[in-house]
Amino acid sequence: MFANLPTFSKSGFKAQKRTSLTGKTQLALIAIAVAGTFATTLQCPVLAKSTSDLASWNDGPTKESIVQFVKSVTDKKSADFVEQEKRIAVFDNDGTLWCEQPIYPQVEFIIGCAKEYAEKHPEVQEDPLFKAAVQGDMATLAKAGPRGSQTLVNTTHNGMPVEQFADVVTKWLSEHKHPRFNEAYTSCVYKPMLELLAYLKKNGFTNYIVSGGGTEFMRPWTEKVYDVPPEHVIGSTCKLSFSNADGKPVIKRTTEIDFLCDSERKPIAIEKIIGRRPIAAFGNSNGDMQMLQWTTAGSGKRFGLIVHHTDAEREYAYDRDSKVGRLDKALDEATKQHWTVVDMKNDWKQIFSFQK
């Protein structure tokens, strides 16, 4: 995620259009909420317990490479056997586990927050970042990159206790839908990848998310949606403050950026927080390349996989020229390194649970 936001540039038209669509969707949702059918709960697909492992994957070399890897590291008789505690798998989120098109859900969230904030704080309306968010000026937002996005959300939620921010995220996700699929963002997750997460867990792996998205933006829902608990979510963070006035300790968000979890900072975050080199890594864009390089360069059997978005009909088709989730360097590297490349159109029987 965010890999290519800095080059998002000029053509922000589609995103602008989407923003206004979202506005309409929002109105529609408010109406639904009033009608009493909507609560602040997360929408997410439930995996049928009876489905066999990787049921949404078509048979072929891609699926086979996953199965063979897992077999080889879990078979005690295999020379490639890896002890359970060392079976660490790391997953990018945007574009790898959930849909990142037409724009990262977190950027939609941030734009909404910035608009709301600017209404109440006219003094920021002339700030170039806020102005861009309010006007849906994607070119400027893009130029500001992930640092710009984090700056916006840090400003809009400065001083907010961390628990309260989690509530804000949960509420937003319950009230907004994907503009094209008209489903909750937390339903726009790839069924084959949910199966893969479950398959790895069943085989003794510990799954971590290592994403450019905000840690505090992901944690409220990853356990329910991916079965990945908060302590296994690694993302971008703002600095936090601790205070204890009147004997009531509180941890609050601040405006300062603490860590941007992207590109070479992904393996760094893995080393800092996990302290073990993963044996399997899953990504979809250039921003995941270093994480896959670090993972697959370790000794013993390793596995790297790139999700290649090739299905415009059921999802989106994009790679080398995409403004979001650009995949060119990492695609070339995948060939060089013999990483598995998922051809979404041909390798996946089903993409989303809500599709047939």
Residues that bind its own copies (CB under 8 A): 85, 162, 215, 219, 229-231, 233, 237, 240-242, 244, 247-249, 251, 258, 264-265, 267-268, 271-276, 290, 293-294, 297
What is d(CA 238, CA 217) in angstroms, rounded to the nearest whole number?
11
Residue with Cβ nearer its own copies (27 or 297)? 297
Q: Rounded CA gap, 205 and 71, in Å?
A: 12
Q: How far is the CB of 15 from its own copies (least distance, A)?
A: 30
Nearest to 285 by CA among 132, 97, 139, 88: 97
Residue 153's closest CA among 195, 103, 117?
Answer: 117
Q: Say which residues have a Cβ less than 8 Å from residue 95's Cβ, sequence separation at least 6.
A: 1, 101, 284, 285, 307, 309, 324, 325
- The whole-angstrom distance between residue 99's C-alpha and the CA centroid of its chain comes to 8
Least distance from C-beta 309 to its own copies, angstroms? Answer: 25
Q: Which is nearer to its own copies, 67 or 240 (CB)?
A: 240
CB nearer to its own copies: give 36 or 275.
275
Whole-angstrom Cα distance, residue 8 to residue 139? 7
Q: How far is the CB of 208 from its own copies (least distance, A)?
A: 9
Minimum gap (Å) between residue 85 Cβ and its own copies? 6
Nearer to its own copies among residue 29 and residue 166 (C-beta):
166
Q: Under 8 Å CB-to-CB from 150, ≥6 apart: which residues? A: 214, 236, 238, 257, 260
- Which CB, 90 or 324, lies closer to its own copies? 90
* Least CB distance to its own copies at residue 278 (A): 11
